[in-house]
Amino acid sequence: MSLAYLLLWPAHLRSTYEYGCQVSVSPEHVVSYRAPLMPPGEVIHDWRSQRNAGQEHLSCELPILTPGRAYTLDGNITVIAGGVYLRLRFFDATNAELDPIILDGTSGRFTFPSTAVNYRIELVNTHHQQVMFRYLLLAEQTTATTHTFTVDQVLGTVQITTKAAQTSHVDLVVRQNATKPLWIAPNANNLVGFVTPQQLRDPNWVHQLNQKRDAFLAAQPHTSPQASGLDAWQALERHWQPQSVQNQEDQL
């Protein structure tokens, strides 16, 4: 399997430029950020692969990357009356900073430096009236060039398709934090559901998610429940759901 990552904006604001800002989240899980007086060059928000948990009380948001390997970073970000860009900062084993990489806008490719051991992704202000942030998608370049990613933030799914698909696979990721790993089965069209434990306790939401999963599998070549990941998906649902929710889902 290959692996990609969906990076969302965390619920906390401790890595966000807060002075004079207004932050809200729509029902579609789109983050609206406003700080029109923010100076150019200031970091709006950052994601880090390494943090001091004792001081910051935060977990790391970024995965470990392989030195020397090429990656693609794509941001689904809309800016009203202005612009932003993404900057990657790298650090070696002594925490000395290496040469940064600035992407042209909010999407681009980069190679992880051979001596880097941790890194940051920074969303940097040029000027703006409003920033509408949906997600960042981080993947190896070989994966990004052979697959198409379609994100449904409302329901919490990523459909990953490839021309080389011979089968289908589904995967359910249960995580509280804002970083969602996307395991991609080879030679398959994939559907990944990313959920929190709280969402799995909502029978109506679970019913909608499972309807999308079933429609996805029905549109693909037939695969056994075990090979397609369906058995594992359902077992994970049963693990997290109280019996009352399972009963309601069966009745829907």
Domain ranges in the chain are 2-138, 147-251
Residue 147 reports pLDDT greater than 60:
yes
> pLDDT grade, residue 11 (50/70/90)?
confident
pLDDT digits (tens, 9 = 90+) for 207-239: 999 999 999 999 988 889 999 999 999 999 998
Residue 52 reports pLDDT greater than 90:
no
Phi, psi of 243 (to 5 degrees): -60, -35
Residue 239 CA to residue 117 CA, distance in Å, equals: 36
Phi, psi of 210 (to 5 degrees): -70, -30
pLDDT digits (tens, 9 = 90+) for 190-202: 999 999 888 888 9
Alpha helices in the chain (DSSP H): 53-56, 141-146, 203-218, 225-228, 230-240, 243-251
What is residue 250's predicted lDDT score, i.e. its pLDDT? Answer: 55
Q: Provide the phi-psi class of 91: left if phi over 0, else alpha when psi is between -120 and 50, else beta.
A: beta
Q: What percent of the chain has pLDDT over 90?
A: 72
- Please give the CATH topology (third level) of the domain spanning 2-138: Jelly Rolls (2.60.120)
What is residue 28's predicted lDDT score, i.e. its pLDDT? Answer: 82
Residue 181 reports pLDDT greater than 80:
yes
What is residue 252's predicted lDDT score, i.e. its pLDDT? Answer: 53
What is residue 246's predicted lDDT score, i.e. its pLDDT? Answer: 53
Q: Specify the range with the lowest mean pLDDT, choosing from 15-24, 117-126, 230-239.
A: 15-24
pTM summary value: 0.90
Q: What does DSSP assign to residue 55?
A: H
CB 100 within 8 A of CB 116: no
What is residue 55's predicted lDDT score, i.e. its pLDDT? Answer: 52
